[in-house]
Amino acid sequence: MNTNFDVIVIGGGVVGSAAARELSRYNLRVAVLEKELDVCNGVSGHNTGLLHSGILNEGNTLRMECCLEGNAEFDQVARELDVPFKRCGKLIVGFGEEERARLETLYQRGIESGIPGLQMIDAARVQELEPNAHADFALYVPSAGILDPFLYTIALAENAVMNGARYYFNQEVTGIERADGLYRITTVHGVFTARWVVNCAGLYAFRIAEMLGFPGYQPKRVKGQYAILDKKTGKYLGMPLYPAPNEYGACDVHVTPTVDGNVLVGPTIEQIGDGIDYSVTQDMLQVLVRQGGKMFDYAKRDYYIRNYAGVFPTILDPRTGKDLDYTIETKPEAPNAVNTVGLNSPGLTCALPIARRIVKKIQETEPLIPKETFRPTRKGIVRFAEQTKETQDALIRSNPDYGEIFCRCECVTRAEIKEAVHNILGVETVSGIKYRTRATMGRCQGGYCETRITAAIQEELGRKKEEVLLNQIGAYMFTGDVK
């Protein structure tokens, strides 16, 4: 295994994968070290999937700058990387005079920040745009959109690999030393060396920062729970509905359609202790249904299929006591290290702008030579379920594996499962197949297809059934025979 690189990126979330992709534009040997078995297992896989407009961010911050840039370019990015995306807009809805005043303030701030197309609209216009929304009035934000955060991160990582970057999974970084002009990076399974290190470790970025010589960052752990609603509800919601900001300036539970036709209700906002806690509770499910139901009729328990939680990578700014702005930094005492911390929401929207700023930090020290062979495009797996009848027939004629349905709820075929199993990143988990194909994401949540996916991994990769993992080390699908 080659362990010597020009640049090592720590963390394969959306930001680390965007950084790897942007670095792969240059003649550099680039590697990503990721502690989990796939990309997008950290914050990037536990969020709302919204392309933010910036309306909820304060102006004159790096976060705002990156958000406007990331939002404006995303139609092209989604085309280049073949990522499902809809620029559907969003409504921040309000009731009563106090909320009207808060929305007016947001509107003014948004105009000053240069957010395009903002409109204060009345109840009749809300009904025209979203017949199932409840509101007395709303702030309409047409530049917002929805995307698939898993496929976006996978696409960035795949495009980086197509352009020469390498991904190493199950490689938690435990120590970093510098000697003879090189970084020696110790992981749980080996040692890597690099001229440059980029910290993109999300919730653990403060720890890597300390290892690199950027000490003192203090995380603040805030968690949000969500409920996922059945696809039956998707047809009743065209765009996200946010409530007007509360007295602290934050928007409580919102309802958001996904690009695949589900509806997400959440997140709640809960302060937690120092650890990362992804647990979900019955109590919070009730809160979600109650708060979501105020804006959207179909936010009901009857449609609930699953819940999940995310934890914000917030860092406290000791000077202000508020959340730290996006920080992308270098310093002479830590040569050839680019440190990032505080990449809080909307980091999905901002991933590529952040990545370009990481590259710029390196360019401040050394010139980078563009790679002539760099290709910005990548193709995703063709979704059989989304094709016309004619195309489906043609696909089956060209490859009979399209004629066998593996996941009944989401209509995913054997051909798609096989393509996912042979993914360019070398991911071998059942969840890896899920996020690449949507198999197991339907109403039955894998009751029918999970064992079939396990069998496909066995067959295609020559693994024993006891070797196949759900999503992490120790999470075996099977531990032996019953009979």
Ligand X SMILES: Cc1cc2nc3c(=O)[nH]c(=O)nc-3n(C[C@H](O)[C@H](O)[C@H](O)COP(=O)(O)OP(=O)(O)OC[C@H]3O[C@@H](n4cnc5c(N)ncnc54)[C@H](O)[C@@H]3O)c2cc1C
Task: Establish if 245 lies at the interface with ligand X (CB under 6 A).
Answer: no
Distance separating alpha carbons of residues 454 and 428, to the nearest angstrom: 10
Residue 329 makes contact with ligand X by CB under 6 A: no
CB of 60 to ligand X, least distance (A): 19
157, 311, 315, 420: which one contacts ligand X (CB under 6 A)?
Answer: 311
Shortest Cβ 83–ligand X spacing (Å): 13
What 3-state DSSP class applies to 271?
Answer: strand
Q: Which of 3, 115, 32, 28 has its CA nearest to residue 68?
A: 115
Q: What angle, rounded to 10 degrees, do the helices at 414-421 and 430-437 form?
A: 120
Read off the tokens for 16. Answer: 């680390």
- With binding defined as CB under 6 A, does residue 219 bind ligand X? no
Are 103 and 145 within 8 A, CB to CB?
A: no
The residues that bridge with 145 in the sheet, in sequence order, are 51
Minimum distance, C-beta of residue 314 to ligand X, in the bound complex (Å): 9
Q: Which is nearer to ligand X, 283 or 459 (CB)?
A: 283
Tokens linked to 363 = 């360019």
The one segment of 110-118, 294-302, 308-316, 431-439 that binds ligand X by CB under 6 A: 308-316
Q: Which of 5, 26, 31, 47 binds ligand X (CB under 6 A)?
A: 47
Catalytic residue among 46, 52, 189, 254: 52
- Binding ligand X (rule: CB under 6 A), the pick from 152, 192, 312, 406 is 312
Residues 6+ apart with CB under 8 A from 160: 17, 20, 21, 23, 24, 30, 32, 167
346 touches ligand X by CB under 6 A = yes
Are the beta carbons of 346 and 62 closer than 8 angstroms?
no
- Does 421 sit near ligand X (CB under 6 A)? no
Q: Is the peptide bond before 346 cis (omega within 30 degrees of 0)?
A: yes
Q: Taking CB under 6 A as the rule, does residue 90 contact ligand X?
A: no
Active site residue 52: yes
Which of 33, 133, 144, 161: binder of ligand X (CB under 6 A)? 33
Q: How far is it, in rounded angstroms, from Cα 339 to Cα 329?
A: 5
Q: Which two tokens stand for residue 286?
A: 């009730």
| Residue 347 touches ligand X, criterion: CB under 6 A | yes
Least distance (Å) from ligand X to the CB of residue 84? 15
Question: For strand 166-168 and strand 30-33, is the pairing parallel, antiparallel, or unpaired?
Answer: parallel
Is 432 near ligand X (CB under 6 A)? Answer: no
Find the binding residues for ligand X in span 199-218 (CB under 6 A): 200-204, 208
Contact 114, 143 (CB under 8 A): no
Nearest residue (CB) to ligand X, 196 versus 406: 196
Q: Under the rule (CB under 6 A), what is the footprint of ligand X?
A: 10-16, 33-36, 41-44, 46-50, 52, 172-173, 200-204, 208, 224, 267, 310-313, 343-349
The residues that are catalytic are: 52
